[in-house]
């Protein structure tokens, strides 16, 4: 793998990796409950330690070799703030022929649900213009809701138990 993340999509259709829906979402991540209290475990795929063939990954976590980061660089003119730098970087990596995937060996607790408000929208419009993507709202079946737990530790423990079951099945 040339670029690996924890969640992403096999088909990028807009300015958010989840917009292409559940059929294309891959990976897993723990996030806070939207209403406060508790933690949600988003389970989007299970496979071998890495799921290859992604077009983009979320910036909550991704890793690549230094040479790859230096060669691709970040588009600091179009994405000079917090939003869309991650999709831009990973989508360009995939489009340039690099192998992009998600690791199932990394379980991340990300203390954010993401924000798709007024500060995000100009970056989303720039992203769509840059890659000639039509600006449409979510195009696929929404991502499945998270499995809810009392806290992130309980969610992580459940995920580890599920991993053990999957490994025992071969």
29 — pLDDT class (breaks 50, 70, 90): very high
pTM over 0.95: no
Compare 164 and 157 and report the one with higher pLDDT.
157
Cβ atoms within 10 Å, residue 67 = 9
113 — pLDDT class (breaks 50, 70, 90): low
Q: Would you list the DSSP string of the chain?
A: --EEESEEESS--SSSGGGG-TTTEEEEEEEE-TTSSSEEEEE----SSEE---SEE-TTSEEE-HHHHHHH---TTT--SSSSHHHHHHHHHHHTT--EEEESS---B-S-----STTTHHHHHHHHHHTT----S--SSPPPPPEEESSHHHHHHHHHHHHHHHHHH-
Q: What is the pLDDT of residues 47-66, one digit of tens each?
A: 678 899 999 999 999 999 99
């Amino acid at each position: 793998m040339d670029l690996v993340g924890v969640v992403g999509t096999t088909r990028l259709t807009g300015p958010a990796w989840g917009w292409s829906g559940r059929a294309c979402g891959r990976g897993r991540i723990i996030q806070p409950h939207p209403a406060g209290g508790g933690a949600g475990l988003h389970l989007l795929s299970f496979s071998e330690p890495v799921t290859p063939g992604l077009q983009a990954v979320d910036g909550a976590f991704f890793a690549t070799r230094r040479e790859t980061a230096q060669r691709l660089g970040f588009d600091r003119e179009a994405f000079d703030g917090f939003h869309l730098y991650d999709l831009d970087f990973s989508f360009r990596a995939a489009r340039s022929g690099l192998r992009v995937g998600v690791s199932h060996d990394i379980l991340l607790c990300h203390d954010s649900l993401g924000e798709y408000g007024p500060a995000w929208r100009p970056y989303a419009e720039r992203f769509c213009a840059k890659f000639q993507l039509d600006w449409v709202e979510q195009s696929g079946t929404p991502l499945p809701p998270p499995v809810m737990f009392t806290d992130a530790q309980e969610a992580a423990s459940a995920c580890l138990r599920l991993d053990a079951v999957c490994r025992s099945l071969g």
